[in-house]
Amino acid sequence: MPEAAQVASLVRTSLEACGVDIDSLQGEQEARSPLTGTVLTMVASSSFDDIDRMIGEAAEAFTSWRDVPAPVRGGLVKRWGELLTEHKDDLANIITAEAGKITSEALGEVQEMIDICDFAVGQSRQLYGKTMPSERPGHRLMETWHPLGVVGIISAFNFPVAVYSWNTALALICGDTVIWKPSETTVLSALAVDALLGQAVKDVGAPANLHKLAITDRVGGERLVDDPRVALISATGSVRMGREVAPRVAARFGRALLELGGNNAAIVAPSADLDLALTGIVFAAVGTAGQRCTSMRRLIVHESIVTELTDKLVAAYGTLRIGSPLQSENLVGPLINQGSFDAMQATLTAARAQGGTVLCGGDRVLAAEAPGAYYVQPAVVRMPGHTPVVADETFAPLLYVMTYRDLNEALTLQNGVPQGLSSAIFTNDQIEAERFLSASGSDCGIANVNIGTSGAEIGGAFGGEKETGGGRESGSDSWKNYMRQATNTINYSGMLPLAQGVKFL
C-alpha cells in the first residue's frame, strides 16, 4: 500500500505538469484520496459572488464566440485534444489518486476525452440542417442550427473528467461557453483539465472566458441550476439529484440534459458462450469497483446454466487482486468513501433479509494498512427473484443473480426496474438477439449483444430512459442538445401566397 506522502507527491507533480499552481489555490476545501483516505491538499472554494461573476463573463464571451465560424471553433478543440494527449499520463495519475481507478481505466478515461475531441473537430464541419420542399411556388423551406448560450455542466466523481469533455467539446464547437461544477470529491482532476483547456484557448487565440470552473458544493451548484443566463444544465448524478434539478430548470424554461442512475442487467441465454460471457460480466460488475453508472448490477441467467455460470463467477472473483490501483497487479481499487461502503453493507443486509444468499465477497479488506480507505471484496448474491432491493441501485461492486425460464420472463425482469440506462444479452441465437434489440425487447438507452453493460464508445449517443433521465451525450447527433433550431422560409417568387391556401386581402 503506498504511503500518503507518495500519493500526494505524485498528484502535485502531475498537477504542475498540467499547468496548475497548487500553492495559489490553497483554501478551506479538502481534496482527499480514496487510496489512503488522507488529505492530498486544500483548495479554495468558489463563493456565490464568484459563481455569479463566472456566469456573467461566460454569457459575455458567448456573444463573440457564437459568431466565430464553427470549423475555427473546432481548432480550439483540436488543440485541447493535443494537450490531453501530451498529458495523458499526468491526468491518469490524478484520476487514479482522486477517484480510485486502476491505471488502465484512468488512462481509458483520458482516451475518451481525446476521442471526443477528435469527434467534435469533425462535427464542427457537419452542423447540418435540412432543406424541405415548400408547398408554395418560389419558396424555399429549411432549418438552421445556432449556438445556444452558456452551458452549465455538473459532473460526478466516478468519471471525473470524461463526461465533462463529452459536453464541453461539443458545446464549444457549437458556439457555446461552459461553466463546470465538478464533484466535490474530484476537484484536482477538474483543475488539471481546466488548465489544459485554458492553455488551448491561449494557444489558438480564442476569446477569454469561454470556460469557467466553479469549485463549490451542492448549494453553489443550485446557483447554476436557477440562473436564467445558463441556457442548458447538463447534470450527471443520482436520480435524487435529477428530481431536484429538472423541475427547477423547467420552472425558468431552461433546458436540462440528465444522465442519472443505472440498474443495469445482462441476460445469459442457454446458447451463450459462457467463457465470453464471464469476461464481460466480471469487468462490467467489478470495473471501477462497481462505481460506474453502467456497472452491471443484475445477472439474469437461464435456469439450465445458472449453477455452471455462478460457479465460474465465484471462482473468477476469487482471483481478483484488491488494493492500491497504483500497483499494476491490482484490478479492484477502493470505494470512494465510507458512505459508499456503508451503503453496500446496508444493501447486503437487506438482500439477506429478502431471501438472498451471498455467494462471495462483501467484506472490507486492507483496513489495517489503510484505515481511512475503504477497499471491499466484490460481492455476488443469489436472489430468489426480483425482490425490492434488486430494484434499487447501489453504487458498489454488488451483483445479483436471478434465473429465468423463457425470454419473455427474462425481458420482464430486465425491464422491471425504474432505471433504463444499459443492458446486455449473451446469446448465440440470432432470434433472441434480434428480439432483445427490438421495440418489445430492452427498454434501455444502451442495448448490447455479447458484450457487457459498460465500456461505451464515444461514437454512439450515451444515455438512458425512465429514471435515467432521457439525456444523450457524446456521439451520434448529441450535438443538437447544445444548439437551437430555427425554421426558415425564403420567398423569391415576387408574390406572397399564404400557406395552406389561406386567402387574405
In DSSP notation, 367-416 reads TTT-TTSBEE--EEEE-SS--GGGGS--SSSEEEEEEESSHHHHHHHHH-
* Distances, alpha carbon 381 to alpha carbons 295, 346, 406, in Å: 15, 14, 22
What CATH number is given for 264-461 in this structure? 3.40.309.10
* Rounded Cα distance, 162 and 101, in Å: 13
Terminus-to-terminus CA distance in the chain, angstroms?
85
**Residue whose C-alpha cell is 442487467:** 265
* Rounded Cα distance, 238 and 155, in Å: 11
Amino acid identity of residue 105, one-letter, is: E
**Claim: this prediction has a pTM higher than 0.75:** yes
Q: How do beta strands 131-132 and 139-147 pair?
A: antiparallel
- All structural domains of the chain with their residue ranges: 4-260+469-486, 264-461
* Rounded Cα distance, 413 and 425, in Å: 13
pLDDT at 504: 85
28 SS3 class:
coil
> Burial level of 117, CB count in 10 A (0-12/13-18/19+)?
buried
- Looking at 87-150, list the stretches that DSSP marks H as alpha helix, in order from N- to C-terminal side: 88-99, 103-123
The CATH fold of domain 4-260+469-486: Aldehyde Dehydrogenase; Chain A, domain 1 (3.40.605)
Beta-strand runs (E) in 249-376: 255-259, 264-268, 296-302, 357-360, 364-365, 375-376
In DSSP notation, 69-97 reads -HHHHHHHHHHHHHHHHHTHHHHHHHHHH
DSSP secondary-structure letter at 431? H
Q: How many CA atoms lie within 13 A of 258 on its CB side?
A: 28
Q: Are 196 and 225 in contact (CB under 8 A)?
A: no
Strand order across the 483-491 sheet: 131-132, 139-147, 483-491
Q: Are 266 and 423 in contact (CB under 8 A)?
A: yes
* Rounded Cα distance, 265 and 381, in Å: 14
* Rounded Cα distance, 90 and 13, in Å: 8
What is the rounded radius of gyration, in angstroms, for the C-alpha atoms of the chain? 24
Instruction: Tell me which of 112, 259, 467, 473 is the catalytic residue.
Output: 259
Under 8 Å CB-to-CB from 8, ≥6 apart: which residues? Answer: 33, 38, 40, 41
Amino acid identity of residue 415, one-letter, is: N
Residue 358 CA to chain centroid, in angstroms?
A: 30
Going by C-alpha positions, the residue among 429, 382, 384, 375 that lies closest to residue 407 is 429
* Rounded Cα distance, 387 and 413, in Å: 11
Strand order across the 379-382 sheet: 357-360, 379-382, 398-404, 296-302, 264-268, 422-426, 446-449
pLDDT in tens, the chain (505 residues): 778 999 999 999 999 999 998 888 888 899 999 999 999 999 999 999 999 999 999 999 999 999 999 999 999 999 999 999 999 999 999 999 999 999 999 999 999 999 999 999 999 999 999 999 999 999 999 999 999 999 999 999 999 999 999 999 999 999 999 999 999 999 999 999 999 999 999 999 999 999 999 999 999 999 999 999 999 999 999 999 999 999 999 999 999 999 999 999 999 999 999 999 999 999 999 999 999 999 999 999 999 999 999 999 999 999 999 999 999 999 999 999 999 999 999 999 999 999 999 999 999 999 999 999 999 999 999 999 999 999 999 999 999 999 999 999 999 999 999 999 999 999 999 999 999 999 999 999 999 999 999 988 999 999 999 999 999 999 999 999 999 999 999 999 999 988 898 988 7
pLDDT at 24: 83
pLDDT at 498: 87
Q: Are 262 and 295 in contact (CB under 8 A)?
A: yes
Does 259 participate in catalysis according to the annotation? yes
Under 8 Å CB-to-CB from 434, ≥6 apart: which residues? Answer: none
